[in-house]
Amino acid sequence: MRPFVFNLEKVLGLRKFREEETKIELGKAIGILAELENRIYALARERTRAAAEQFSPGNNGAQIQQYMFYILRLDNTREQLLKEAAMAELKVEEARNVFIEASRERKVLDKLKEKRQKEYRKEMFAQETKTLDDISGSASARFDMDYTDIAKTDENLKIY
């Protein structure tokens, strides 16, 4: 019995590899987005701290003004990070779509391979059944011949 061979096994391997590559790219994009979100959150905490310290007792006018400029710089940085995060979200969505498409392409070949394996098993089962039928048929034919020969011998013995 010959082993199952899927003609498109190399193509399936390439599609699996591409799917893994796109999965890695998606992970990188998500990581970049998460890092930007963490920076935005840390910036918000720093801004809250600076705003609370701006008017703390003992600060003179120059220190209050320095805090004000620092808070403005934090706000500008926050706006820039929000723009970067929006771009990163677009890249994540694009990477997700590429990954989904690569996954879909791999699944199509997996389904085809499964279908061909089922067909192969069915064909092998049919061949095996036919072979067993042939073997059992020839065995019963031999049995019938032996029985007929015995019956003829018995008839010959009766004649004498």
* Alpha-carbon distance values, 80 to 31, 72, 74 (Å): 18, 12, 10
Amino acid of residue 56: S
Q: Evaluate if pTM is beyond 0.85.
A: no
User: How far is residue 44's CA from residue 124's CA, in Å, rounded to a whole number?
Assistant: 68
- Please write the tens of the pLDDT for every residue from 15-55: 999 999 999 999 999 999 999 999 999 999 999 999 999 88
| Residue 73: per-residue pLDDT | 97
User: How far is residue 46's CA from residue 57's CA, in Å, rounded to a whole number?
Assistant: 19
User: How far is residue 160's CA from residue 153's CA, in Å, rounded to a whole number?
Assistant: 11
| Residue 134: per-residue pLDDT | 83
Domain assignment of residue 2, yes or no: no
Low-confidence ranges of the chain (pLDDT < 70): 1, 138-160
Angle between helices 9-54 and 61-159 (to 10 degrees): 160
CATH number for the domain harbouring residue 145? 1.10.287
SS3 127: helix
Domain assignment of residue 4, yes or no: no
Amino acid of residue 80: Q
Domain assignment of residue 13, yes or no: yes
Full domain range(s) for residue 97: 9-159
Tokens standing for residue 144: 């019938």
Domain total for the chain? 1
| Residue 156: per-residue pLDDT | 57
Overall size of the chain counted in residues: 160
Domain assignment of residue 126, yes or no: yes
Domain assignment of residue 14, yes or no: yes
- Specify the residue for token string 């007929």: 148
Per-residue H/E/C for 39-106: HHHHHHHHHHHHHHHHCCCCCCHHHHHHHHHHHHHHHHHHHHHHHHHHHHHHHHHHHHHHHHHHHHHH
